């Protein structure tokens, strides 16, 4: 049964709207078109940096806004104009860098819409691949630079996100209490092998609040779909919080509705059910 109150749909990309081959299904595209024809705002809300957005998004007529880097930026797709920024506290960046020096932990950072990785790691992945990351995604979306920690300090006023990657989840678990002790920083995750750090109030939910105020939409008008912890706050914010069938049991426990997986048109089916009145 459709819910005519839904005026905005916030959608995570990876593991949610995109299939595993990073494409959108015809059914999802049709659901987008039908929703926008009804005046519904579809907002991409992703952990990806702006430069890593799939090109197919820019060809979707009527798609207005994208939230990047877990809520650090909002951009108007038609103009490329950045309308919102919420970056890390420079003191928190300094604390993170101090912890990481000499640790051997894989680190990436997002600055000014670009993603940067340490050159040694980048070229190691290029030569040997990776057992726990999508090597092609890394190689096509990351810019290799030497001395990434020094780079982070040089750009500490404009850090959108810092991502740490762990081959072994036990190593990730050991870093949790160390990182959560840092003030003025949020800590989340977009897949089992990483941590993502943002500003004190940076989240997809906070960015959505800004956008909803701008468009005259309340949380009672919001549906949000996601699959990982970096989606939790926007799922909690939404009147209809949808979690994918491919998500963890912990994520599913937070949902108002669990849809099918990202390879089985889960987002399209949720839109059809709550917005378009389909089965």
Q: How confident is the prediction for the chain on average, in pLDDT? A: 96
Residue 3 counted as domain residue? no
Domain end, chosen from 198, 230, 247, is at 198
Residue 1 counted as domain residue? no
Prediction pTM value: 0.94
190-235 confidence digits (pLDDT tens): 999 999 999 999 999 999 999 999 999 999 999 999 999 999 999 9
Q: How many CB atoms lie within 10 A of CB 169?
A: 11
Q: How far apart are CA 124 and CA 138, in angstroms?
A: 11
Are 250 and 216 within one domain? Answer: yes
Are 98 and 170 within one domain? Answer: yes
Q: How confident is the model at residue 4 (pLDDT cuts 50, 70, 90)?
A: low
Cβ-contact 70, 244 below 8 angstroms = no
Cβ-contact 88, 185 below 8 angstroms = yes
Q: How far apart are CA 246 and CA 16, in angstroms?
A: 8
50-65 confidence digits (pLDDT tens): 999 999 999 999 999 9
pLDDT of residue 277: 85
Phi, psi of 69 (to 5 degrees): 50, 45
Cβ-contact 8, 41 below 8 angstroms = yes
Nearest by Cα to 45 from 197, 199, 186, 211: 211
145-178 confidence digits (pLDDT tens): 999 999 999 999 999 999 999 999 999 999 999 9
Domain end, chosen from 198, 232, 258, is at 198
Cβ-contact 184, 199 below 8 angstroms = yes
Q: How many CB atoms lie within 10 A of CB 6?
A: 23
Residue 160 counted as domain residue? yes
């Amino acid at each position: 049964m459709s819910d005519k109150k839904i005026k905005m749909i916030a959608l995570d990309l990876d593991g949610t709207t995109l299939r595993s081959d990073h494409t959108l299904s015809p059914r999802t595209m049709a659901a987008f078109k039908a929703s926008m024809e009804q005046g519904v705002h579809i907002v991409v809300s992703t952990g990806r940096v702006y430069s890593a957005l799939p090109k197919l998004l820019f060809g979707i007529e009527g798609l207005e806004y994208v939230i990047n880097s877990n809520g650090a930026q909002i951009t108007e797709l038609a103009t490329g104009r950045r309308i919102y920024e919420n970056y890390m506290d420079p003191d928190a960046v300094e604390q993170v860098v101090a912890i990481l020096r000499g640790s051997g932990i894989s680190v990436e950072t997002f600055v000014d819409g670009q993603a940067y990785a340490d050159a040694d790691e980048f070229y190691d992945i290029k030569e040997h691949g990776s057992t726990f990351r999508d090597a092609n995604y890394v190689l096509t979306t990351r810019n290799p630079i030497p001395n990434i920690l020094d780079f982070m300090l040089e750009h500490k006023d404009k850090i959108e996100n810092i991502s740490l990657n762990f081959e072994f989840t036990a190593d990730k678990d050991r870093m949790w209490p160390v990182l959560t002790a840092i003030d003025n920083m949020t800590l989340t995750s977009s897949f089992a092998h990483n941590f993502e750090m943002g500003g004190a109030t940076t989240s997809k939910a906070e960015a959505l609040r800004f956008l909803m105020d701008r468009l005259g939409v309340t949380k009672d008008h919001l549906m949000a779909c996601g699959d990982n912890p970096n989606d939790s706050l926007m799922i909690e914010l939404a009147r209809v919080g949808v979690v994918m069938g491919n998500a963890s049991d912990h994520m599913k426990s937070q949902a108002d509705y669990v849809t099918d997986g990202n390879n089985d048109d889960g987002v399209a089916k949720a839109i059809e059910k709550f917005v378009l009145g389909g089965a």
